[in-house]
Structure 1
C-alpha cells in the first residue's frame, strides 16, 4: 500500500506538469510565432516481486510478477507546424512560410532565432535599423544588422518574398541586402527564452543558412502578414480535461490506499 501511495503521487506530479504546459499553450494562443508544447511521459523502474509465477495447480507460467513504480515526465517538446497567417497590412510585418527562422542579435550580443516577424525601424547609432518590437537588430546573411540611412524615405524600401531588400543610398544609388533565414536539423531541440527568442543547442544542431545551403527548401517571406500560434483551443481544452481526469484518478488511488492503511491499523488481534 505504501508503494501505491508513491506510485499515485508520481502520477499527480506528472499530470500537474501536463496541466501547466497546456495552460502555457492557452496563454500564448495569440502570441505571434508561438509553437505549442506537448508533454511526453516515461514509466519508472519496475520492481520484480517474483521471478517465477505458477497457476493454481502449480504449473509454472512463462512470465514473472513485476509491478510498476509510477511515471515521470521525459520531455516537453515543441511542435513546429505552420501557424495561421494573419494579414496586418503593416510594411514591416513578415510571416515565414516554411521551416526558416529570422536571425536577431539579443541584448547580450548573442544570436537568437525567432518566427515572430513583427519588425519596425528603430533609430540606431549609425542610422535607421530594422529591429524586433523589443529592439533586437534583425541580421542579414553576413550576420550584420540591417541599417538604413537616417534620411531614407521608408516608402522607398522594397522587400521581396526571398527577404531581399532594395533601397536608395544618400547618393541615389540602389543598394541591396537580404534578411537572413536559417533552418535547423532538429528545431525541437532549440532552447526557448523570453520574447519569442530561441537559442541553438547541441540537440538542435548548428544553424544552416538558406542563402548558402542549396539542399534546403527555401522559405517564403510574406510582407504585411504575421504568423499566428499553432495552438488549437479545442484540442487544448480536450487535453486539459484528460489531464484533469488522470490527476483525479491518481488522487482517488491515494485516498483508497489511505483507507486501506487505516483499516489495517484498526485491526486487532
Structure 2
C-alpha cells in the first residue's frame, strides 16, 4: 500500500520540476538569445516480486513480476535551435546565422560564450556585451589597416577595441560596421580602416554547455572544448549586423506542457488520496 503513496509523491515532486522548467521558459520568452529547456523522466528501480522462469518440458516459461516504485528526473536538456532574427537597426547588434557562439571575456579573464549579440562600445572604445564583458576577436596584424587591402589577423583572440584616433584622424561616431564575415571596420576622417574580426566558437555538443546567467554559457566536460575561428568556419555561420536573436521558446508548446504537467500533478495527488482512503478502511477494520 505504501508503494502507491511514495510513487504518487515522486510523481508530484518531479512534475514540480517540470513546471519549474516550463515557467522559466515562459519567463524568458523575450530574453535575447535564450535557449529553452525540456525535462525528461525515467522510471525508478522496480521491486521484483518473482523472477522469470524458463520453459520446462511440462510447462511454458513465466514472466517475472515487478512493481514500479515511482519516477525520477532523467535530464533537463537545452534546445540549441536558433531563434528568429529581430531587426534593430543598431550596427553593433549582431545575429549569428548558424551554430556559432560569440566569445566574451569574463571578470576572471576566463571565457564565456553567448548567442546574445547586443553589443556596444564602452568609454575605452572596447566592444562589450550588455553585462560589460569584452567581446573577443582577431586584431589586424600591425594595427588597423586601410580597407581595400588584404589584411592579416592575429592568431589569438583579443578584445575588439576601437581607437579614438588613427593617423591623426578622430574616430567618426557611429561609423563602426560589421560585415557577414565578422570583419569590423570604422571610419577615421574620410578613410575606412579594418580593425579586426569577431571570433566565433562552435562545440561538438552545444547542449552540454552550462548556463551561468546573463545569457552566457560556460564550457563543460561534456560540451567539448570550444573550436575557435572566424565567421563561416567550422559551421559557425555568418554574422548579420543590425539584428538580434530572439528566444527560441515556443509559447504554444509551453502552454501545452503546462497543462499536461498540471493534469498529471492532479492525477498523482488523487493516487495519494485514494491510497490514504484505502489505508483508512484498513484501520477501520479494527473497530
TM-score if structure 1 supplies the norm length? 0.91
Distance 1:60 1:122 in 2: 79
Deviation at 1:218, TM superposition (A): 4.0
Distance 2:52 2:230 in 1: 63
- How many corresponding residue pairs? 261
Q: Does 1:83 align with 2:83?
A: yes
Q: Does 1:122 align with 2:122?
A: yes
Distance 1:101 1:23 in 2: 25
| SS of residue in 1 equivalent to 2:137 | coil
Change in CA separation of 1:67 and 1:21 when aligned onto 2, cut-off 3 Å: same
Determine the structure 2 residue equivalent to 1:240: 258
| SS of residue in 2 equivalent to 1:188 | helix
Deviation at 1:156, TM superposition (A): 3.1
Deviation at 1:40, TM superposition (A): 1.1
Distance 1:251 1:239 in 2: 18
RMSD: 2.2
Determine the structure 1 residue equivalent to 2:28: 28
Determine the structure 1 residue equivalent to 2:143: none
Determine the structure 1 residue equivalent to 2:129: 132
**What's the CA shift string for 1:225-258, capped at 9, x where partnerless?**
1110010111100010001111111100000000
| SS of residue in 1 equivalent to 2:230 | coil
- How is 1:2-21 mapped onto 2 (pairs within 5 angstroms)? 2-21=2-21
Deviation at 1:41, TM superposition (A): 1.0
Determine the structure 2 residue equivalent to 1:108: 108
Determine the structure 2 residue equivalent to 1:156: 175
Determine the structure 1 residue equivalent to 2:272: 254
Distance 2:216 2:192 in 1: 35
Deviation at 1:148, TM superposition (A): 1.0
Distance 2:23 2:264 in 1: 16
**What's the CA shift string for 1:7-56, capped at 9, x where partnerless?**
11111111000000000000000000001100011111011012258xxx
Comparing 196-205 with 154-163, greater Cα deviation is found at: 154-163
**1:51·1:64 contact (CA, 8 Å) conserved in 2?**
yes
Distance 1:70 1:5 in 2: 9
| SS of residue in 1 equivalent to 2:108 | coil
Change in CA separation of 1:260 and 1:173 when aligned onto 2, cut-off 3 Å: closer
**1:84·1:227 contact (CA, 8 Å) conserved in 2?**
yes
| SS of residue in 2 equivalent to 1:41 | strand
**2:102·2:113 contact (CA, 8 Å) conserved in 1?**
yes
Q: Does 1:145 align with 2:159?
A: yes
Q: Which runs of structure 1 show a deviation greater than 4 angstroms over 4 or more consecutive aligned residues?
A: 58-61, 168-173
Give the unaligned 5+ runs of structure 1. Answer: none
Distance 1:212 1:152 in 2: 25
**What's the CA shift string for 1:189-247, capped at 9, x where partnerless?**
00001100000001000001233996x22411111111100101111000100011111
Distance 1:90 1:174 in 2: 20
Give the unaligned 5+ runs of structure 2. Answer: 139-155, 165-169
TM-score if structure 2 supplies the norm length? 0.85
**2:94·2:241 contact (CA, 8 Å) conserved in 1?**
yes
Change in CA separation of 1:89 and 1:190 when aligned onto 2, cut-off 3 Å: same
